[in-house]
């Protein structure tokens, strides 16, 4: 028999108290850990919960402790990492998880040691299918987990990712998981135990552990939330040896447990781990509904994540390859600030209100830094094509006005940068800024001059005219020109369709014309319907809409329906009160209007009003007897406004929905009736999964401690299809929870938000009721039987990524530049990341691709300048040999494989800016 004793503290950075209050306890706990290790050499080791952010948090208060930490880390007595923070796996992207591990490794090494090489995910609320591949790419083994597995899951198994990567995995005892030994033997507080008490408790614990781990290898996990180190650990281990003299007692960091997997063959479990807790006394609750709590936090997070991965990362990669390394420290800082918000109790929305408020402040800072990255890219391009620095044109505090930005002939160049490494043929929105210090030379107005509008037309690099729609006109708007220099412009937001170069600049000419510019073309078929030849859209009287695929004739009916039910849960769980209303359809009014119908876009606006009891009441009698939960007598109007857009050449409709939430204690969902019964597909962090409609366990989970919910995770794409095609739902941000009842009409539900009042350790708070205007953006996309997952994923990336643009007087440009492509990825492979190398090496760029299919896929990488290429592991260590410098590379990727490449550009790149 072997006993593997593991000791740690599970540190939630912010949860039932905000960060600064928890840090007060963290500093004291860290001092206790260091003091115990320094005092007693027989105390072999301690693990700081698999995170390195705890080191930074402590050292901000006590920087003089750095060497104390470093001494123990170098000696291997204090295990830190591999994570920066312990995240959630379903609410953050695969890229965020990879960056999290990269940062954790860097911080561990900065103390002279190596990160703990264990895939420690002890308290994460379920696990994604590709996690074994990510762990494999960082050399992490074994994986140690608790939630997401239940009493039917073996204690030791091989966890397999879709690509076949396997990770040795320890499933902690379901009852108390990582805290089992603490709660049943040593106790929560660091109180010395008498020998007799310890031995009596341990013998009972050992018998319980055998029921889960078997008779030969028992895991003793001494690691409760926010617990201090047990300085008596060497004595405890000696008492265990006395109780079991024939057993081997190993003070482990879990790496020693790998011998268990070498000694005998273990079962293989493939894919995601989302099993709820099945039987008592199991209490490893999956806690699914964190997916839909605190929508405001999740929306802000996803918008930052989209921006970092799909805009800032590629921009910084480009600038770094062109010898701009001074921006890399800002980029690294921004990612660290962002990942701080991904700690599982933070992003999951199960903390107190103060935590969410602090997260919003961090998100705001991240957006501010991302703004500067985009501005820097624009300034570099402006300087390159004008031949002089922005400072020549900027206003100073000491001299007269600088030269006007206006073109005397009214001709401008709209410069658009696409940060994604593939071409995009789509609808673009850009703001044209006409300087007000010089009147536009060509204007027109209808009638007798009711509203004067600049007369201009748009042309692409080939001279083709681009019809456009003018969204509105905003006069005398203040915009920043450079630093303190802000100027006034007449702003014309326009939409037009064009093809953008891959990872590069496209140039659109804005030409003044004499005649009034009008475009009569539209797609209206009636006051409530439109068609573009691919799909037709019809708005129903109740505010839902039907979408017909004109290629097959199939109609998807009553899309965008709203369902409202009651909520008495919290950040962890959605719970219906007994007798609560379900699938409320108390629609009191609906209006439909046409907002736009032009050459590129038709837009309907639908306003629906729902009359509902304002909140739940928790009533009592005069004798203080609890009288149950009921809906209030007071009613409120919940207003849902949706703008439904059909593009001229698109096979999808985009929806922008605003909910003015005045109703408390409720859950609001929208539905998509596909008409296709049976399984559905869902994207999940570099994998597409097929799940059964309804509950995988059927009615079996009815008596379980935690019944299987219909709601499951998804990462931006979910839908249904059969041999005739189907329909997919794409979320731009904020939505992560989908359910698919086993109904004949194939209806799917997407949770918009949950409004609740319960927060941990309080008498209830108000921020989580979300009584404000909430914004949502999503898409219903018609797919054919042949539409690949790579195509769907590419559509999601384009939907989530907005190009950056600026306008420049054509007179300021010596020679009109054409389209420019820096890096292009073509073929069947999907784009994962384009970023600077994590070590910030000059001219070194990292490109990540993924094969989102169950067969081998190929792609071609085309570069504007020669570079050397080699394959890397996910941790950015070399995996292959450097290839000779070239501008084209053929890439071949195995099914569901994530591959990472390093591109090293020559110094010749530096001269191109």
Residues 841, 860 share a domain: yes
Residue 186 within any structural domain of the chain: yes
Residues 780, 712 share a domain: yes
My answer on whether omega of the bond before 82 falls inside 30° of 0, hence cis, is yes
Q: Dihedrals φ, ψ of 325, to 5°? A: -70, -15
Residue 849 within any structural domain of the chain: yes
Out of 376, 408, 434, a domain closes at 376
pTM for this one? 0.97
Q: Give me the DSSP letters along 531-577.
A: E-SSEEEEE-TTS-EEEEETTT--EEEEETEEEEEE----SS---PP
Q: What DSSP character marks residue 501?
A: P
Residues 416, 483 share a domain: yes
Q: What is the mean pLDDT of the chain?
A: 95
At 681-734, the pLDDT tens digits run 999 999 999 999 999 999 999 999 999 999 999 999 999 999 999 999 999 999
Residues 196, 56 share a domain: yes
Residue 181 within any structural domain of the chain: yes
pLDDT of residue 504: 96
Mean pLDDT of 408-423: 97
Strands 143-145, 119-121: pairing kind: parallel
> Does residue 626 have a pLDDT over 80?
no
Out of 376, 404, 430, a domain closes at 376
Share of the chain above pLDDT 70, in %: 97
**Residue by residue, what is the 3-state secondary structure of 805-868?**
EEEEEHHHCCCCCCCCCCEEEEECCEEEEEEECCCCCCCEEEEEEECCCCCCEEEEEEEEEEEE
CATH of the domain at 38: 3.20.110.10
My answer on whether omega of the bond before 281 falls inside 30° of 0, hence cis, is yes
Domain of 318, in residue numbers = 289-376
Residues 477, 495 share a domain: yes
Quick one: tokens of 426? 């789509």
CATH of the domain at 425: 2.60.40.1180
At 784-798, the pLDDT tens digits run 999 999 999 999 999
Confidence of residue 585 (pLDDT cuts 50, 70, 90): low
Q: What DSSP character marks residue 61?
A: T
Residue 309 within any structural domain of the chain: yes
Across the chain, how many H-helices and E-strands are there?
A: 15, 47
pLDDT of residue 912: 46
First vs last C-alpha separation in the chain: 66
Q: d(Cα 59, Cα 556) in Å, to the nearest integer?
A: 57
Residues 696, 547 share a domain: yes
The region of weakest confidence among 216-230, 507-521, 620-634 is: 620-634
Residues 121, 94 share a domain: yes
Residues 338, 192 share a domain: no
Residue 794 within any structural domain of the chain: no
Residue 817 within any structural domain of the chain: no
Q: How many independent structural domains does the chain possess?
A: 5
Q: Give me the DSSP letters along 178-241.
A: GGHHIIIII-SS-----HHHHHHHHHHHHHHHHHHH-SSEEEEEE--BTPPP-TTHHHHHHHHH
> Does residue 913 have a pLDDT over 50?
no
CB 837 within 8 A of CB 515: no
At 116-152, the pLDDT tens digits run 999 999 999 999 999 999 999 999 999 999 999 999 9
Q: d(Cα 688, Cα 841) in Å, to the nearest integer?
A: 34
CB 188 within 8 A of CB 149: no
Residues 618, 509 share a domain: no
Out of 260, 286, 312, a domain closes at 286
pLDDT of residue 365: 97
At 77-96, the pLDDT tens digits run 999 999 999 999 999 999 99
Q: What is the CB-side half-sphere exposure of residue 782 using CA atoms within 13 A?
A: 23
Q: d(Cα 106, Cα 443) in Å, to the nearest integer?
A: 58
Residue 64 within any structural domain of the chain: yes
Residue 20 within any structural domain of the chain: yes
Q: d(Cα 216, Cα 248) in Å, to the nearest integer?
A: 10
CATH of the domain at 301: 1.20.1270.50
Residues 329, 267 share a domain: no
Residues 59, 15 share a domain: yes
Residues 266, 304 share a domain: no
Confidence of residue 174 (pLDDT cuts 50, 70, 90): very high
């Amino acid at each position: 028999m072997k006993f593997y004793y593991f000791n740690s503290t599970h540190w939630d950075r912010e949860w039932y108290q905000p960060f600064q209050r928890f840090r007060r306890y963290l500093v004291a706990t860290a001092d206790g850990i260091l003091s115990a290790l320094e005092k007693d050499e027989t105390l072999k080791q301690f693990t700081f919960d698999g995170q390195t952010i705890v080191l930074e948090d402590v050292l901000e208060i006590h920087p003089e402790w750095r060497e104390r930490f470093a001494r123990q880390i170098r000696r291997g007595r204090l295990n830190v990492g591999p994570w920066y923070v312990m995240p959630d796996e379903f609410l953050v992207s695969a890229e965020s998880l990879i960056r999290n591990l990269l940062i954790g490794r860097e911080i561990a090494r900065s103390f002279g040691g190596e990160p703990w090489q264990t895939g420690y995910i002890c308290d994460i609320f379920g696990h994604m299918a590709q996690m074994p591949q990510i762990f494999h790419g960082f050399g992490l083994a074994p994986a140690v987990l608790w939630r997401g597995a239940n009493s039917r899951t073996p204690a030791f198994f091989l966890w397999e990712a879709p690509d076949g990567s396997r990770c040795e995995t320890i499933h902690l005892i379901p009852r108390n998981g990582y805290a089992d030994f603490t709660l049943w033997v040593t106790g929560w507080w660091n109180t010395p135990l008498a020998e007799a008490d310890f031995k009596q408790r341990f013998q009972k614990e050992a018998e319980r552990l055998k029921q889960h781990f078997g008779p030969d290898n028992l895991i003793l996990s001494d690691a409760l939330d926010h617990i201090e180190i047990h300085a008596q650990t060497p004595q405890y281990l000696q008492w265990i040896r006395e109780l079991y003299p024939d057993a081997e007692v190993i003070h482990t960091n879990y790496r020693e447990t790998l011998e268990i997997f070498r000694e005998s063959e273990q079962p293989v479990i493939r894919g995601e781990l989302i099993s709820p807790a099945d039987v008592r006394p199991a209490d490893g609750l999956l806690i699914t509904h964190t997916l839909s709590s605190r929508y405001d936090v999740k929306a802000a997070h996803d918008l930052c994540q989209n921006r970092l991965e799909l805009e800032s990362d590629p921009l910084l990669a480009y600038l770094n390859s062109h010898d701009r390394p001074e921006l890399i420290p800002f980029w690294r800082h921004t990612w660290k600030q962002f990942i701080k918000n991904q700690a599982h109790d933070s992003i999951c929305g199960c903390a107190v209100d103060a935590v969410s408020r602090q997260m919003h402040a961090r998100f705001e800072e991240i957006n501010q830094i991302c703004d500067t990255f985009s501005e820097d890219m624009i300034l570099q391009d402006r300087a390159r094509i004008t031949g002089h620095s922005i400072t020549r044109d900027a206003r100073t505090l000491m001299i007269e006005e600088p030269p006007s930005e206006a073109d005397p002939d009214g001709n401008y160049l709209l410069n658009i940068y696409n940060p994604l490494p593939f071409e995009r043929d789509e609808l673009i929105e850009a703001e044209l800024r006409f300087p007000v210090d010089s009147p536009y030379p060509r204007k027109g107005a209808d009638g007798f001059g009711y509203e004067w509008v600049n007369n201009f037309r748009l042309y692409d690099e080939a001279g083709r005219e681009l019809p456009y729609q003018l969204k509105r006109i905003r006069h005398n708007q203040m915009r920043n020109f450079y630093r303190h220099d802000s100027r006034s412009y007449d702003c014309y937001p326009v939409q037009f369709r064009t093809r953008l170069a891959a990872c590069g600049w496209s140039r659109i000419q804005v030409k003044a014309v004499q005649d009034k510019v009008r475009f009569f073309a539209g797609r209206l078929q009636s006051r409530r319907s439109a068609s573009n030849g691919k799909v037709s859209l019809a708005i129903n009287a109740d505010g839902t809409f039907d979408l017909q695929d004109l290629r097959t004739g199939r109609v998807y009916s009553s899309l965008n329906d709203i369902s409202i039910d009651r909520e008495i849960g919290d950040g962890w769980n959605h719970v219906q009160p007994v007798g609560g209303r379900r699938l409320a359809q108390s629609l009191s009014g609906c209006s439909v209007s046409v907002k736009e119908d032009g050459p590129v876009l038709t837009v309907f606006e639908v306003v629906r009003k729902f009359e509902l009891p304002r909140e739940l009441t928790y009533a009592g009698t005069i004798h203080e007897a609890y009288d149950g939960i009921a809906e209030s007598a007071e009613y409120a109007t919940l207003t849902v406004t949706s703008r439904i857009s059909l593009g001229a050449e698109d096979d999808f409709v985009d929806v922008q929905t605003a909910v003015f939430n005045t109703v408390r204690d409720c859950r609001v969902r929208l539905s998509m009736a596909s008409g296709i019964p049976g399984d559905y597909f869902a994207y999940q962090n570099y994998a597409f999964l097929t799940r059964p409609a309804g509950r995988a366990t059927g009615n079996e989970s009815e008596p379980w401690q935690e019944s299987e919910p219909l709601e499951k995770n998804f990462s931006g794409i979910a839908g249904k299809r059969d041999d005739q095609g189907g329909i997919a739902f794409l979320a731009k941000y904020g939505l992560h929870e989908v359910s698919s009842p086993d109904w004949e009409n194939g209806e799917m539900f997407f949770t918009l938000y949950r409004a609740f009042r319960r927060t941990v350790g309080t008498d209830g708070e108000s921020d989580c009721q979300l009584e404000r205007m909430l914004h949502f953006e999503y898409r219903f996309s018609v797919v054919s039987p042949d539409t690949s997952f790579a195509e769907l994923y590419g559509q999601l990336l384009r939907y989530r990524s907005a190009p950056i643009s600026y306008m420049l007087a054509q007179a300021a440009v010596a020679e009109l530049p054409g389209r420019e492509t820096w890096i292009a990825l073509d073929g069947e492979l999907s784009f994962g990341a384009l970023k600077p190398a994590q070590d910030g090496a000059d001219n070194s760029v990292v490109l990540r691709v993924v094969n989102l299919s169950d067969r081998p896929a190929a792609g071609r990488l085309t570069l504007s300048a020669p570079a050397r290429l080699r394959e890397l592991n996910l941790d950015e260590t070399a995996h292959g040999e450097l290839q000779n410098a070239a501008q084209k590379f053929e890439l071949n990727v195995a099914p569901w494989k994530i591959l990472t490449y390093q591109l090293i550009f020559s110094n010749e790149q530096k001269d191109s800016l």
